[in-house]
Structure 1
């Protein structure tokens, strides 16, 4: 059985760790190749490392940023590879954002291949157009199976016409759990940031400093808590990231309490070090297809507070934190107060995070996907 996985960018580390686990756990009769369209995208050019080794079988079409490659060139190269490789099963990851991915589904369908679509989108993460949704409905009808991040992305496909029996993996949102936990534990032992972060307990935000992340309401909610409850005296707020609103955020911070620590963006492998000084991740986004940083925080045993605009809310928040209405600063503040004042419940929530995230471990997801490949291949 030959399986072709089509992906847009080689650099994407959380996908690479999944591809590696699939390679390591594949059945003996499986040949798997990951077709990577481009090496990276321009927005991540400063985050890439030349020392990365990818431990899975892949073919790179263009050693360039994906934005630099003409659409026609991408389409022809992808379709040519599908024809020459002649797989039995084609798994397209990300299916309507790039013309080459969309046409690879249609081309594979007319070649009589089994098709599996990996979907991260939800019904609320972007403004939808009638024509795009019509195209997606057509693509869904062509597919034999689906891999989704969680409940919200599954519901989106069901609304587009997918059948319940077609889902081969429903917890496809993965990160490098082993590496993250290892870095976190080492940072705890080494007392990372001991000289810079003076507060014993901390909330943390990790991400780009841009409007959709809604960071100002987090800062204001935290400042109000510090002023209103005595239990917050030894609590701080860590903000880790950079973006177009850096200056605005610095201005917000300067208006109030000094227990807010702003750090520049770091490589993903450094983020768990900051979690070692934190108790709870807050993700106040106005729109978030999933929020993989929530996975990362839970692997490190943090509680979580997320807005209801985060795609992960239904899968990852259950007795380990709170969900608040996006843009509702008062509701966010109440969630944060509950986390501060209820010590016993706080420790229980942190423990629950570790239990919930177990089902999203890379190796378990990879094994379930491999079983799904076999199931789809064997269907008449």
Structure 2
């Protein structure tokens, strides 16, 4: 079985781990071969988060263009993708999404020449406004696939709506490098109190980690935090982006105390700051999944996640390891924050629940389910 995977960015460290695990499985079967095409090095919005770490990509891969994704025209992407499809002669191709012209051309070409197609889906119905003609195009592309690797149950619901059959759902999982994240977190813990003192942090802290963009809804998070008015709790905002100055101005103008802004970090530094906090928050208006939730749960943290994030529906067990909320309702978020402020003793029990829940969301498990999916669509035993 010859497996070809087409992905967008080499920078995606979590995918690097999953593909590395997939390579290990493939190597156990001498008749199988894996090739991963990375379209680009990174995307422009993540340019400040550090270069792609090639050392974590322990699998057979090719970078199609050594540039940022947005700088590569669709025709060039399609040309290079189709070149490798013809050269590698795969039995099955896994493409990322159904929204990019070049990827869709690969789908149509594969169907034309009899190559099986699996689409990786990170979208949900809540992601973007659903315009009828765009939905029609999505439906057309989706119905060309033989199977789907979905990032959670909400993505599956979306594909079923478009006509995918339940037996075509080959994966409902998404993972980070659990072991690496936990290792970095544990290394940082002994210096936790010292570092908190250096940064002027409060005894307890909520933390948001991600880009500072309007869709991430950090503005409403600040409004909700301000309403708490508790001097024992602070808020760490880790990241940078277009909204940074606006958010800082709000804090200054409204004299919101206890907020600490920290510049964006490379992925391997984020757990060091997670170690300084107690409860993780992802307040986004829209998020296909939100892998930062996985990372926080690996570090045994309670999580507060917007119900517009895909991971909220699979990873958050209400009242057990965290809470979900309506991102448009600042009062609701304030009340959820207050649950931890009033009962900080539940932080540990919620964190332990997170640690247990996240165990099955591992790169090893994702890789195995991917391999099983490839075997299923190619009808090999």
**TM-score of the superposition, structure 1-length normalised?**
0.93
Distance 1:199 1:41 in 2: 35
Task: Report the counterpart of residue 157 of structure 2 in structure 1.
Answer: 155
CA displacement at 1:337 relative to structure 2: 0.6
Distance 2:220 2:326 in 1: 12
Distance 2:176 2:346 in 1: 27
Matches within 5 A, 1:242-253: 242-253=240-251
Distance 1:123 1:174 in 2: 21
Distance 1:85 1:268 in 2: 32
Check whether the contact 1:119–1:146 (CA below 8 A) recurs between aligned residues.
Answer: yes
Task: Report the counterpart of residue 207 of structure 1 in structure 2.
Answer: 210
CA displacement at 1:194 relative to structure 2: 3.6
Task: Report the counterpart of residue 362 of structure 1 in structure 2.
Answer: 363
**TM-score of the superposition, structure 2-length normalised?**
0.93
Helix, strand or coil for the counterpart of 1:82?
helix
Decide which moves more: 238-247 or 100-109.
238-247
Task: Report the counterpart of residue 184 of structure 2 in structure 1.
Answer: 183
Distance 2:292 2:162 in 1: 28
Check whether the contact 1:7–1:94 (CA below 8 A) recurs between aligned residues.
Answer: no
Distance 2:124 2:52 in 1: 33
Q: Which runs of 5+ in 2 are unaligned?
A: none
Does structure 1 residue 341 correspond to structure 2 residue 347?
A: no
Does structure 1 residue 287 correspond to structure 2 residue 286?
A: yes
CA displacement at 1:344 relative to structure 2: 4.0
Distance 2:52 2:235 in 1: 33
RMSD: 1.7
Distance 1:326 1:43 in 2: 23
Distance 2:155 2:53 in 1: 34
Helix, strand or coil for the counterpart of 1:378?
coil
Distance 1:312 1:45 in 2: 25
- What do the CA deviations read for 1:313-344 (whole angstroms, capped 9, x no partner)? 11011021111112111100110111221234
Gap change, CA 1:74 and 1:198, over 3 Å in 2: closer
Distance 1:247 1:66 in 2: 26
Check whether the contact 2:10–2:52 (CA below 8 A) recurs between aligned residues.
Answer: no
Task: Report the counterpart of residue 133 of structure 2 in structure 1.
Answer: 131
Distance 1:376 1:84 in 2: 21
Check whether the contact 1:32–1:57 (CA below 8 A) recurs between aligned residues.
Answer: yes
The size of the alignment, in residue pairs, is 373
Q: Which runs of 5+ in 1 are unaligned?
A: 227-231
